Structure 1
Amino acid sequence: MAMTWHATPFPGVRFREHESRMHGGEKDRYYSIRCKVRGKDIERGLGWASTGMTPEKALRELEALRASLRADSGAAAVLPARRRKPALSFSRFWEREYFPHITKTKAASSVTVEAGIYANWLEPAFGALALGRLTADRLESLVADVLEGGRSPRTARYLVSIVSQVWNLAMEKNFALPENPCARVSITAPDKTMVRLVRPDEIRKMLGVLDRRSRDLHDAVLLALFCGLGPGELFRVSWADISLARGTISIKGSKSRRGRIVFLPSAVNELLGKRNWESFSRMGGMQLTDYLFSRKPGIKREWFSRAFDRIAQEEGWNKKGAARQERVTLASFRHMYAIWLITGGVGLSTVADLMGHKTISLLQKYARFAPSPESLCRSVLDEEWKSLLGPSQT
C-alpha cells in the first residue's frame, strides 16, 4: 500500500520505517528531504539509518540543496544529481532485485508465499510489462480476477501489498517511476450477508457421494449439520471431549469463538457410538486423547475443507467460476444448522450461544429466515386449540 511518512523535528526532513529490519533497537528508518522549485515539489531520498544517515545529516543536505537554489542553479542543479535508472520489466526487476532482497530480509515462510503469489498471479499478468507502466487500473483488474477466482479479500490485499513493496524497493534503488499505483487501489470485501442454501435433496445426494468416497467427511458433514461445528472445530474434537452418556461434545474456545457445550441429537449420538466401537476395534484399543477423525492414534486428520472442496469440484456441485459465498463448502452445513434453528423459532441469542459466537452480530445475515412473531403466536395457539378441542373443522 502507500508508504507512511513521519515528520522529524526539522521541517523538510522526513522518514519512513522498514517493515521488519531493526537498527539501534527500533525499526530502520529511510530519510528523505523535500523542497519546492518553481512551484514543484522536489524530493531526494538520502538513505537508511543503518547506513549512517541521521536527521542532522539530512538537514545539512537540505540546507545545501536550498543554498544551490538560492544561487539560482535551480532545478538543473538538482535533477542531474538524481539520475534515474531506466525501468525494467516487472519480472526482470523481481528476479534481479526484489526476490534476492526478500530472501535476505524475510522469513522463509513469507518468501515461499510471495513466490507463489508471483508465480500464480503477478508474473502472468505483469511479467512482461515495464514496471513504470503498471497502473492502478491494471492492478484493480487483477484484483478483480483474484476475487472472482474465489480467493479471499485478504489474499488480494496481500497481492497489492507485495506490488507496493516491489515499487518502494525500485524507488529506493532510484528507478524512474511515477506515483505508487497501489495507493489508489481499493478492495471491496464480498457481501457476507449472502448465504448459500443447500436444499434437502442436494444434502441427501452429497451425503450419498461422501459415504462412498470418504466416511470421515460424511460424518463431519452430519456433525456440521446437526451440531453446528465449524470446519476448524471438526478435526480438533477428541474422544475426551465427547460424552456419549450425556449426549454432549465440549468445544474449546478460540480467538473468534467461545467455548461451549454442544448437545447431540439422538441419531448423532448413535453415530458417534458406532464410530467409537469401530475405532476401538480397528486400533486395538483407544485413548481418550485420540481424535474423533484421525489417520492413526494421536494424529488428527486436517484439511477437511480442502478435501471437501476437491470432491465438490469433481462432482460438479458448484458452478464454474462461482464466488466463494455462492459455493457449497464444508461451512455451508454449519450455516444450515443456524437456518434450521432460526426457522424453527429459536432466538438469535440462543443460536449464537449454541454456535459459539461472542455476539449476535454475525447472525444478522440469518435474521430473514426467522418466522414473524405473528406466525409463532398463531402456531402456539393452534397447537393449544388442538390439545383442548381437537382439530379445527374449518
Structure 2
Amino acid sequence: MIERVRRLLSPDLMARFIAVPSQFDRREQHLVVMSIVVGAVVWSAVYLLKLSVHWLSEHILEIVEQTPFHLLIFVPLVAGSLIVAALAAWRASFVYYRDKDNHLHALNDVEGDGLERTIGLYYTSEPALDRALLGTQGVRARWEMPTFSLAFRKFLATLVTLGGGGSGGLEASVTLIGESLAVGLFKPRPRMIPHNLWALRLWRWWRTLDPDELQTAQLSGVAAAVSTLLGAPLAGAFFAIEVMYRRRPVIEKLIYALVASLTAFFLGHFASPTNTKFVTVSGLLPPPLNWRYYLILVVLAISVAFVDIYLRKVRGGLSAFFHERFAEPWQRHVVGAVMTGVIGLTAAWLTGESLDLVLGTSDRVIAAALTGQLTIWIAAVALVGKLLATMSTIASGGSAGMLVPSMYLGSMAGVIVA
C-alpha cells in the first residue's frame, strides 16, 4: 500500500499530471471540466435512485410475501400509479419525438420510457422550421423546457413505479434524469446570476451558448447515468453515442462522454467498492468451442429476435388499448398497475417463486439464470410474465425502461434454449 502511494506521488508522475491541461485548447479544457462536473452531479442523483428503488422494492415485496394475503401487492402498485399520474399532470410538458419512420409523437415528459424523451430533448437545440418560426432556436429551445424540475419529477415517478412493485428497468428513466441535470447546470437563471466580479467571470466561462457544447453535456449526462447503474464506463459512453446517432456526427463527443462515464464509475467505486457491477457471477466454466455450441448460439439469436418482434407488437397493442379505452390518465395508470399485479401473482403461483420473479427490476433472476439455477418451466413463465408485466407498466404510463427487461428476456431465452 505504501509503495502504491509512493508511485502515485512520484515527481515524474505528478509532473505528467500537471502537464495534461496543456495538451488541450481552451474549448477542450472547458468541455473536459464540464464532463467531470456533469458526471459527478448525475452520479449522485442516479446512485441515490438506484439504492432507493432496490431498498423500497425489496422491503415492499418482502412484507407482502410474509403476509398470508399476497393480494396486498395491489396497494403499493395502485398507490404508486396514482402518484405517477399526479406527477405527470403537475407542471406537465410535452416532448416531441420523431421515430425512425419520421412520425412525430407528443410525449408526456414523465410517463413511460424516458429514452424516447431523452432523444427528443437532445435534438431540441438543432435548427428546425417550426422553432425558427416561433423565434426559439439553439440552446434557448432546450432551456425553455424543464430541467431540474423534470429530473426531480422523473426521480419520484421512477421510485414509486419500480419501488412499489412495477415491472421494468432503471436505465431509460435515468437517461432522462441525467440529460435534465446536465442541461440544468448550464441553464441561465436571471435571479441567480452572481453580482460578484469573480463569480460572474466564472459563470461566463462555465455557461454555454453553443448547441454543440450543450449536446456534449447531454451525452455526458446520459453516459454517466448508465455507467452508474451498470458499473461499466465504456458501455455507458458507447450507449449514449449509439442511442443519439441519427446519421449525425456524434463520434467527436465520445471522449467527453467517456470522461463523464469514468467520473461516475470511480465515484461509485469509492462509495461502494464491492458493488459496482450490475450482475456479479463467479465460478462460470468456459463454453465448449465446438459446432454444437455455435449452433445453439444461432438458435438463441433467432429466438431472441422473435421475442423482440413479439415485444414490439405487445407494446404497440397495449399502448393503443390504454390510450383509446381510458380518457382519464389516472384510470390508465391504475388499470396498468392492476394488470401488472395480476401477472406478477400469476407467475409466482405457477412457479412457486417469489414475487420478484416478474415484479420490480428482477436483477436477482438474471443472476440466477446465468448460474443455472432456473428450470425451463420457470424460465418460460418468467419470459412471458416479465414481457407482459413490463409492457403493462410502461404502456399505461409507469416510469420504467426496457434495457434491463431486455437483458432479462434474453437470459430467460438462453435458459430455455440451453
Give the shorter-chain TM-score range.
under 0.3
Higher helix share: 2
Q: With structure 1 as the length reference, what TM-score do the two structures score?
A: 0.23
Structure-2-length-normalised TM-score: 0.22
**More strand per residue:** 1
Larger Rg: 1
